[in-house]
Amino acid sequence: MLAPAPRFALQGPGVLASFRRFFDSPRALVLAAIAALAFAAVSLFLARREDRIAIRLAAGDARGRRAEIAEALADEARNHGLDVTIVPSEGSEDSREMVERREVDVALVQGGLDGNDDVREVAPLVLEVLHLLVRGDSNVWALEDLRGQRVMLAPPGSGTRRLSLALTELAGLHPGHDYTEVAMTYADLDEASASELPDAIFHISTLPSPNARRLLIGRGYRLVPLPFGEAMSLRDVAVTAGAIPAYAYDAAPATPREDVPTLATRMIAIASRSTRAEAVRRLLEALESERFLRRANLPRPDPALFLQPEFPLHPGTIGWMHRDDPLFTSDDVQGIESLRSFIVSLIVAFVLLYRWWRTRRLHGLDTYLADAARIDRDAMLVEDAASLDLPRMLSLRSELGRVKTSALAAFSRGEIHSEELLSSFLVHCADVRQHLDRMILSERERMQKVARGRGEAEADVMRTLWAEALQEEHDDKEVVVRAPKPAEKS
């Protein structure tokens, strides 16, 4: 008795048939269309979904103007897929060092700083001016009057301190010798009593500065002019002449009463070279946003400032600067045109070469025609000689036969497709053959006359003369030629 077949063997054909019937039904088409639409929708959603990028940003003292700008920038950056964490720092120098150590990704710093090869510039933002604030009851009216005073330069690690030291050294003033340096923060100034306040304070900020306003309006300080912008720019190209306009901080009473000349540097955004280019691009979009500019109270940056960076530009900035460039520039178009001309010339040359090769392959009679013409020319030279060269004529006739045979073989192999050219070639070969035959016949008749003149048996004489005439042909080319029979007597 045969063993029962396995269960899957019995069910296999039924399952296959069910699948076949399902895929042949309209329901399968509907399900396939729904699956395709779902796949397209998911792909579109994933493509449009913008992954968020987190960066760390340093902006100096939390009570300074840069910190205010950083807060406005962080809020706007969220709308561009960028999550910004503000990291406190002592000042521009400290922020720049944090970028070098890659402790932060981006920093808002004062211009004119030094940096290593890891620092890249993202964007210039706005000019920052240097404030020299002095107590209202002091006798300080110019920079040189700081001798013997208590001066707050700025906390260590700040760009303000660096520029303030350079300015006081220009006036021949040195800390600890010509004036006393006071180490205080802006928070300390708010809590200090009137007697504890320093006689003079150096402060760099955009206008209007909240710290300068508190000192001018709340603590009775006033501004001292610093007309050294041109002189300082000779020593530091990042420094330029600036001014604090009249009424910048108050109108009644006027604070200041007139424009105050001073020094200015640019606030710039810098980043580590390792910061993602996409993060920099989104940050620049936020910096360009009208909402950010209004909230931060900043003018729109001059695009020309991007052409004068203090550090090498970040790759993300370079890409952002060229975002509106056309896909093809004039140089690209010229290059494409040159390439097009080259390709056209190459195609024309290829077509001509192909036509020549095709013509040569299809016709294939060039070599054979040339050989037939050469044989014809040699035959005429033999005819024009003083005596007919019988071996040469026989050799030419044999060579002509070989050329004709080779041409017919090429035609049979399909290398020659022009029947008209082949027919003309054969006619030409026949004409040359007839020419050679006539000359050979003429030479034979001459030999017959010689034989009859000797009075010997004509056949023997003919055979002897023919052998003598063909001796060279037998020796050189080993051609066996039968002597013609003597012509019958009439």
> Could you give the CA distance from residue 10 to residue 185 in angstroms, rounded to a whole number?
90
> Could you give the CA distance from residue 63 to residue 362 in angstroms, rounded to a whole number?
92
At residue 242, what are phi and psi to the nearest 5 degrees?
Answer: -140, -175
pLDDT cut 90: percent of the chain above it: 24
Statement: residue 474 has pLDDT above 50: no
Q: What is the mean pLDDT of the chain?
A: 81
pLDDT for the residue numbered 487: 45
pLDDT for the residue numbered 237: 82
Find the mean pLDDT for residues 175-199. Answer: 87
At residue 113, what are phi and psi to the nearest 5 degrees?
Answer: -90, 160
Statement: residue 480 has pLDDT above 60: no
pLDDT for the residue numbered 388: 78
pLDDT for the residue numbered 103: 92
pLDDT for the residue numbered 6: 47
pTM listed for this prediction: 0.56
Annotate 64-126 with DSSP letters as a single string: SHHHHHHHHHHHHHGGGTEEEEEE--SSHHHHHHHHHTTS-SEEEEESS----TTEEEEEEEE
pLDDT cut 70: percent of the chain above it: 82
What single DSSP character describes residue 307?
Answer: G
With cut-offs at 50, 70 and 90, classify the pLDDT of residue 14.
low
77 CB-side CA count, 13 A: 26
Statement: residue 87 has pLDDT above 70: yes
pLDDT digits (tens, 9 = 90+) for 349-395: 888 887 776 666 555 677 888 888 888 888 888 888 877 787 888 88
> Could you give the CA distance from residue 344 to residue 150 in angstroms, rounded to a whole number?
81
With cut-offs at 50, 70 and 90, classify the pLDDT of residue 251.
confident
Please report, as a single letter, which amino acid is at residue 131. H
pLDDT for the residue numbered 463: 67
Statement: residue 469 has pLDDT above 80: no
Query: Please, are residues 459 and 403 in contact by the beta-carbon 8 Å criterion?
Result: no
With cut-offs at 50, 70 and 90, classify the pLDDT of residue 456.
low
Find the mean pLDDT for residues 189-193. Answer: 86
Statement: residue 158 has pLDDT above 80: no
Statement: residue 43 has pLDDT above 90: no
> Could you give the CA distance from residue 244 to residue 265 in angstroms, rounded to a whole number?
13
